[in-house]
Amino acid sequence: MNTANPTAHAFDQAMHLQPLGDDRFSGHTSEAYANMVGPFGGATAAVLLNAVLQHPQRIGEPVSLTVNFAAALQPGPFEIEARPLRSNRSTQHWLLLQYQNSELVSSGTAFTAIRRPSWSEQELACPAVAPADSLPALDARGMLRWISQYDLRFVCGGFDPHSQQPLDNSLTRLWVRDEPPRPLDFLSLAAIGDCFFPRIFTRRQRFVPAGTVSLTHHFHVDSERLAQVGSAHLLGQAQANRGHNNYMDQSAHFWAADGELLLSSSQTVYFKE
Amino acid sequence: MNTANPTAHAFDQAMHLQPLGDDRFSGHTSEAYANMVGPFGGATAAVLLNAVLQHPQRIGEPVSLTVNFAAALQPGPFEIEARPLRSNRSTQHWLLLQYQNSELVSSGTAFTAIRRPSWSEQELACPAVAPADSLPALDARGMLRWISQYDLRFVCGGFDPHSQQPLDNSLTRLWVRDEPPRPLDFLSLAAIGDCFFPRIFTRRQRFVPAGTVSLTHHFHVDSERLAQVGSAHLLGQAQANRGHNNYMDQSAHFWAADGELLLSSSQTVYFKE
pLDDT in tens, A211-253: 999 999 999 999 999 999 999 999 999 999 999 999 999 999 9
Q: Which residues of B touch A108 (CB under 8 A)?
A: 109
Q: Which of B70, B86, B268 faces A218 most closely, judged by CB atoms?
A: B268
Supply the DSSP symbol for B246: T
Which residue in A93, A214, A261 is closest to B70 by CB distance? Answer: A93
Task: Please give the share of chain B, as a percent, with pLDDT higher than 70.
Answer: 97
State the pLDDT at residue B5.
Answer: 60
Q: CB of B105 within 8 A of CB of B78?
A: yes
d(CA A131, CA A234): 10
Q: Write down the pLDDT at residue B6.
A: 52
A205 touches chain B (CB under 8 A): no
Integer Cα distance of B273 and B270 in angstroms: 10
What CA–CA distances, in Å, run from B92 to A95, B48, B105, B248? 18, 16, 24, 31
How far is it, in rounded angstroms, from Cα B89 to Cα B98? 27
Asked if B205 and B154 count as a contact pair (C-beta separation under 8 A), the reply is no
Percentage of chain A beyond pLDDT 70 is 97
Q: Residue A25 in contact with residue A131, Cβ under 8 Å?
A: no
Residue A2's pLDDT band, with cuts at 50, 70 and 90, is very low
State residue B71's pLDDT score. Answer: 97
Chain B residues inside the 8 Å CB shell of A243:
118-121
pLDDT number for residue A7: 63
> How much is the pLDDT for B164?
78
Q: What is the ipTM of this complex?
A: 0.96
Work out the pLDDT band at A1, boundaries 50, 70, 90.
very low
Enclosing H/E stretch for B191: helix B186-192
Query: Residue A197 in contact with residue A159, Cβ under 8 Å?
Result: yes
Q: Which of A125, A128, A152, A122 is nearest to A233 (CA)?
A: A152
Q: Are B247 and B269 in contact (CB under 8 A)?
A: yes
3-class SS at A97?
Answer: strand
Q: Test B86 with A71 for CB contact under 8 angstroms.
A: yes
List all residues 6 or more positions away from A91 whose beta carbon is below 8 Å from its beta carbon: A59, A60, A111, A112, A113, A114, B213, B270
Rounded mean pLDDT of B69-98? Answer: 97
Q: Identify how many contiguous H helices and E strands chain B contains and give both numbers.
A: 5, 14
Using CB atoms and an 8 Å cut-off, which of residues 144-183 of chain B contact chain A? 169-170
The per-residue pLDDT for B8 is 87
Asked whether the predicted pLDDT for residue B19 surpasses 60, the reply is yes
Nearest CA in chain A to B71: A86
Q: Are strands A18-21 and B247-256 parallel, antiparallel or unpaired?
A: unpaired
- The span from the CA of A43 to the CA of A270, in Å, is 19
Residue A200: its chain B contacts at CB < 8 A?
Answer: 119
A72-86, B4-18, B199-213, B247-261, range with the lowest pLDDT? B4-18
Q: Which residue of B has its CA nearest to A208?
A: B119
A245/B117 Cβ within 8 A: yes
Q: Where are the alpha helices (DSSP H) in B194-260?
A: 199-204, 223-229
Q: Looking at this protein, which amino acid is placed at residue B2?
A: N
Tell me how close the Cα of A70 comes to any Cα of chain B, in angstroms.
Answer: 6
Domains of chain A, first to last: 6-115+134-271 (2.40.160.210)
Query: Which of A118, A126, A204 best tests the B interface by mutation, with the highest count of B CBs <10 A?
Result: A118
**Which residues fall within 8 angstroms of residue B16, CB to CB, at 6 or more apart?**
B27, B28
Whether A119 has its CB under 8 Å from any CB of chain B: the answer is yes
Amino acid B161: pLDDT: 83
pLDDT at B82 over 60: yes
The answer to whether B107 and A95 have CB atoms below 8 angstroms apart is yes
Asked if B121 is an interface residue toward chain A (Cβ–Cβ < 8 A), one would say: yes
Q: Most B CBs within 10 Å: which of A245, A250, A253, A258, as the mutation test of the B interface?
A: A245
For B52, what's the count of Cα atoms within 13 Å in the CB-facing half-sphere?
A: 31
Chain A partners within 8 Å of B244 (Cβ): 115, 118, 120-122, 220-221
* Sign, Cα dihedral of A44, A46, A47, A52: positive
Tell if the CB–CB gap between A111 and B244 is shorter than 8 Å.
no
Distance from the Cα of A33 to chain B's closest Cα (Å) equals 24
Instruction: For B248, name the nearest residue in chain A, comparing CA atoms only.
Output: A220
State the smallest CA–CA distance between residue B9 and chain A in angstroms: 31
In chain B, which residues have their Cβ closer than 8 Å to the Cβ of A239? 123
**DSSP-assigned letters across all residues of B103-161:** EEEEEEEEEEE-------EE-SPPP----GGGSPPP--TTS-GGGGGEEEEEEE----T
Do B93 and A215 contact (CB within 8 A), yes or no?
Answer: no
Q: Peptide bond preceding B75: is omega within 30 degrees of 0, i.e. cis?
A: no
Nearest to A240 among B66, B86, B123 (CB): B123
pLDDT the model gives residue B1: 42
Euclidean distance between CA atoms A205 and A210, whole angstroms: 13
Alpha helices in chain A (DSSP H): 10-15, 41-54, 186-192, 199-204, 223-229
Residue B180, preceding peptide bond in cis (omega within 30° of 0):
yes
Whether chain A has a CB inside 8 Å of the CB on B205: the answer is no
Asked if pLDDT for residue A129 goes beyond 90, the answer is yes
| Average pLDDT of chain A to the nearest whole number | 96
Partner A contacted by B249 (CB < 8 A):
yes
pLDDT of residue A37: 86
Q: What are phi and psi of A195, to 5 degrees?
A: -80, -10
Mean pLDDT, chain B, integer = 96
pLDDT (0 to 100) of residue B162: 87
- A102 touching B (Cβ < 8 Å): no
Chain A positions in Cβ-Cβ contact with residue B240 (cut-off 8 Å): 121, 123
Q: What is the pLDDT of residues B165-199, one digit of tens each?
A: 999 999 999 999 999 999 999 999 999 999 999 99
- Using the beta-carbon criterion (under 8 Å), do B95 and A107 form an inter-chain contact? yes
pLDDT tens-digit series, residues B227-241: 999 999 999 999 999
> Are B104 and A121 a contacting pair at CB < 8 A?
no
Residue A110 to residue A48: CA distance in whole angstroms: 9
pLDDT of residue B158 exceeding 50: yes
- pLDDT over 80 (residue A186): yes
DSSP conformation letters of A166-204: --SS--EEEEEEESS-----HHHHHHHTT-SPPHHHHHH
Of A64, A105, A118, the CB nearest to B246: A118
